[in-house]
């Protein structure tokens, strides 16, 4: 008896020891799986990667930056049909289990065996949230155990609706779409709140295998339909919909369409009744292709916004922070700009039909940049003809020789050095010795004529190269470069007389700033592309107002504008008269016709155009800025000038007018044969009268002989050029 008791005590002790050992072992195992588990509390402040959006002035989204394309949507905006479809397809016992659904696992196993493949998974929605947000996607027993533990903890930390909110906003639906809001927009072209039963069944079938069941993949509608049928069947089994509702949903065909195509029934009917309803046919489910929004509307402009954000906010904030960037770009203006540049290129190609074959590796390109005045709002930006071919932004980054487009800057510098619009400069031959090249440089005018004494106005109007060189030599190259810096030129400038012919490469944006300064009474604007930036919480990170700094006097600015009005009225920019309102501007053509420019403005709008090859190449004889670029400017301005635009440039105080003799630049007399009412800064107008005229033609003295059949490019072109 005593030995029996001892044996029993031994067995009990051994059992207790085994239990303790098992408890310790289980504790150690549990600790092994839980020691470094993520903290569930982090999900209470759910901050996933959210797409940053760029908005146009019109309030539309024109660009997106993201790593995961996601938009958070509250549960109240998720329609009941989608809520029910997701529950039925992914986790029918979601509201009953505590993170793990053992009956669901058995049910899924049986369905998969009958189907001969995986058609239903055993993971609950809670497990999928844990896997997506807290764990790595590795496939291992350890990860599944950790997932189960976290799912159990999550159920005790958050409500069912909070867990479902995480799921609906986190899960991947294919084609770059994360969350139900982006998925609805990607596939159906509308917000998730508008999703109906047929669409909901398609969406609910995607999380299991998005690429396999995507209705947007070509030739994939049969698989998408198969998955849709499964979801509708599950909804019937769970008594969430009737058989009739399921049949109506399945009766709707899946139609892959182009986003640009209008709905056929919208074309032929009006009001709420559609063609399908009239014919008694089911409305198709329209599936749209994935949008490449950044490339659709203003790709080069979007690139400049991205560059700015990366510089100021970094990669994480730019691509994941859910920023809202409100810009100054107008979509109609942008469309007009793109059409205008294409129009210019097409017109050139019609004149040179062999160009496309000869230059497949170096095609013709173009750029246009436009701003509203006086605000400096950037309204349109075209950085190139084909963004798919080249993402290099010719409007902002490309430095090219501006030719005579640089001359207004030099004439402005001359006005501030004591010149006037009536100052006489003799247009006569010049010869310079070049010690580097060991040869002589003889700058010429395009006409190969020298007209003798000419006023500053006529020299700019007709883009006299030699006169500009003489002016630059007189006022000083160093002074002119400092003047250019003041007006907004930041590119390197050659410290020699070639500056007069636009040999120094600068950007279209720099030229636009210079001309804007003349247009804005001497105030240099800061081109403004962004109104404000708002973070995901609605906090304004930055907000911008128009800014301009006065760098030259209003009188000088007005005089340069007035001079450039003559360029448009009777000079190299005559094509710009076609817009029908007063305008000022200047053409530019570089040596051997490699680049064509036109920068012009009205009192409330400025635009600049450049046309040329990516690798500088002769555009062809006579293909000047006036012929190639100015028509592009006209095409754009005609489409974008607002009704009621100002009809004339405002004149500041301190401007006076005097009638002058254009041959002498002095006050006109009765004997003066050619006179002009000229404008001056007060105190600079002439006080002496012109002497009696002599009846002779001084210009003939400067005529240069040339072969009229010679078609070789000139060293000095129509409006200036490189050396």
Active site (catalytic) residues: 90, 404
Cα 6 from chain centroid (whole Å): 89
In sequence order, which residues have a C-beta less than 8 Å from that of residue 347 and are 6 or more positions away?
Answer: 631
In sequence order, which residues have a C-beta less than 8 Å from that of residue 716 and are 6 or more positions away?
Answer: 443, 444, 445, 446, 465, 466, 501, 591
**Packing angle, helices 180-188 and 197-204, rounded to 10:** 120
Cα 52 to Cα 143: distance, rounded to the nearest angstrom: 33
- Quote the radius of gyration of the chain (alpha carbons, Å): 37
Copy the structure tokens of residue 448: 């190969």
Helix (H) or strand (E) segment spanning residue 326: strand 324-327
Cα 55 to Cα 71: distance, rounded to the nearest angstrom: 15
Q: Is 595 helix (H, G, I), strand (E, B) or coil?
A: strand
Buried/exposed 431-459: b ≥16 CB within 10 Å, e otherwise? eeeeeeeeeebebbbbeeebbbbbbbbbb
| Residue with the two structure tokens 């044969």 | 673
Residue 394 φ/ψ, nearest 5 degrees: -70, -20
Cα 168 to Cα 172: distance, rounded to the nearest angstrom: 9
Q: CB-hemisphere CA count at 13 Å for 281?
A: 9
Copy the structure tokens of residue 524: 């240099």
Please say whether the beta carbons of 367 and 336 come within 8 A: no
In sequence order, which residues have a C-beta less than 8 Å from that of residue 395 and are 6 or more positions away?
Answer: 300, 367, 368, 369, 381, 382, 383, 507, 508, 509, 610
Copy the structure tokens of residue 298: 């203003």
Cα 157 from chain centroid (whole Å): 44
DSSP class per residue in 64-91: EE-SSEE----GGGS-HHHHHHHHHHH-
Residue 423 φ/ψ, nearest 5 degrees: -60, 135
| Residue with the two structure tokens 């340069």 | 560
Please say whether the beta carbons of 396 and 368 come within 8 A: no
In sequence order, which residues have a C-beta less than 8 Å from that of residue 95 and are 6 or more positions away?
Answer: 87, 160
Of the candidates 270, 334, 275, which has an alpha carbon nearest to the alpha carbon of residue 302? 334
Using the Cα atoms of residue 417, residue 420, residue 424 and residue 429 in order, give the sign of their dihedral. positive
């Amino acid at each position: 008896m005593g030995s029996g008791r001892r044996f029993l005590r031994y067995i009990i002790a051994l059992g207790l020891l085994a239990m303790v050992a098992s408890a310790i072992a289980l504790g150690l195992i549990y600790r092994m799986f839980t020691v470094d588990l993520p903290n569930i509390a982090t999900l209470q402040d759910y901050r996933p990667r959210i797409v940053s959006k760029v908005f146009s002035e019109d309030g539309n989204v024109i660009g997106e930056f993201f790593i995961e394309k996601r938009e958070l949507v509250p549960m109240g905006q998720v329609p009941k049909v989608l809520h029910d479809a997701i529950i039925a397809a992914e986790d029918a016992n979601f509201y009953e289990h505590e993170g793990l659904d053992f009956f669901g696992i058995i049910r899924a196993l049986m369905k998969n065996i009958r189907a001969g493949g995986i058609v239903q998974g055993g993971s609950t929605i809670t497990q999928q949230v844990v896997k997506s947000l807290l764990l790595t996607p590795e496939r291992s027993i350890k990860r599944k155990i950790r997932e189960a533990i976290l799912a159990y903890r999550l159920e005790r930390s958050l409500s069912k609706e909070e867990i479902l909110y995480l799921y609906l906003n986190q899960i991947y639906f294919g084609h770059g779409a994360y969350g139900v809001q982006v998925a609805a927009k990607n596939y159906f072209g509308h917000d998730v709140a508008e999703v109906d039963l047929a669409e909901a069944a398609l969406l609910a079938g995607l999380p299991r295998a998005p690429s396999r069941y995507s209705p947007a993949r070509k030739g994939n509608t049969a698989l998408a339909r198969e998955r849709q049928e499964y979801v509708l069947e599950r909804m019937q089994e769970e008594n969430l919909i009737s058989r009739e509702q399921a049949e109506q949903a399945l009766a709707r065909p899946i139609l892959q369409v182009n986003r640009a195509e209008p709905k056929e029934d919208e074309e032929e009917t009006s009001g709420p009744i559609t063609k399908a309803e009239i014919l008694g046919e089911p409305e198709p489910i329209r599936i749209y292709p994935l949008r490449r929004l950044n490339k659709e509307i203003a790709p080069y402009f979007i690139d400049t916004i991205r560059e700015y954000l990366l510089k100021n906010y970094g990669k994480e904030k730019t691509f994941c922070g859910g920023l809202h960037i409100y810009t100054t770009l107008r979509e109609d203006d942008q469309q007009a700009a793109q059409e205008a540049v294409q129009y210019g290129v097409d017109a050139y190609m019609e004149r040179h039909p062999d160009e496309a074959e000869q230059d497949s590796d170096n095609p013709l390109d173009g750029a246009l940049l436009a701003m509203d005045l006086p605000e400096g709002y950037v309204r349109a930006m075209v950085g190139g003809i084909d963004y798919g071919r080249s993402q290099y932004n010719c409007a902002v980054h490309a430095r090219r020789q501006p030719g005579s487009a640089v001359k207004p800057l030099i004439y402005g510098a001359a006005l501030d050095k004591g010149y006037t619009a009536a100052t006489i400069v003799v247009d006569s031959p010049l010869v310079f010795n070049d010690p580097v090249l060991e040869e002589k440089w003889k700058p010429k005018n395009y006409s190969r004529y020298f007209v003798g004494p000419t006023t500053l106005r006529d020299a700019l109007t007709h883009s006299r190269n030699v006169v500009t060189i003489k002016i630059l030599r007189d006022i000083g190259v160093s002074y002119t470069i400092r003047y250019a810096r003041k007006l907004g030129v930041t590119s390197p400038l050659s410290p020699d007389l070639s500056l007069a012919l636009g040999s120094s490469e600068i950007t279209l944006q720099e030229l636009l700033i210079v001309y804007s300064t003349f247009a804005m009474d001497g105030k240099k604007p800061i081109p403004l592309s962004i109104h404000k930036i708002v973070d995901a919480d609605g906090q304004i990170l930055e907000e911008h107002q128009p800014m301009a700094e006065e760098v030259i006097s209003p009188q000088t600015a007005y005089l340069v504008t007035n001079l450039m009005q003559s360029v448009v009225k009777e000079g190299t920019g005559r094509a710009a008269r076609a817009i029908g309102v007063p305008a000022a501007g200047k053409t530019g053509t570089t040596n051997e016709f490699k680049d064509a420019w036109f920068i012009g403005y009205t009192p409330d709008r400025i635009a600049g155009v450049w046309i040329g090859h990516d690798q500088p190449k002769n555009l062809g004889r006579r293909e000047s800025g006036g012929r190639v670029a100015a028509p592009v400017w006209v095409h754009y301005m005609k489409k974008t000038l607002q009704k009621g635009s100002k009809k004339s440039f405002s004149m500041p105080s301190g401007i006076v007018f005097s009638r002058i003799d254009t041959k002498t630049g002095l006050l006109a007399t009765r004997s003066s044969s050619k006179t002009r009412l000229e404008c001056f800064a007060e105190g600079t107008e002439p006080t002496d009268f012109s002497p009696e005229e002599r009846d002779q033609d001084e210009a003939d003295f400067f005529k240069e002989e040339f072969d009229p059949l010679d078609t070789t490019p000139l060293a000095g072109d129509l409006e200036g050029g490189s050396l």
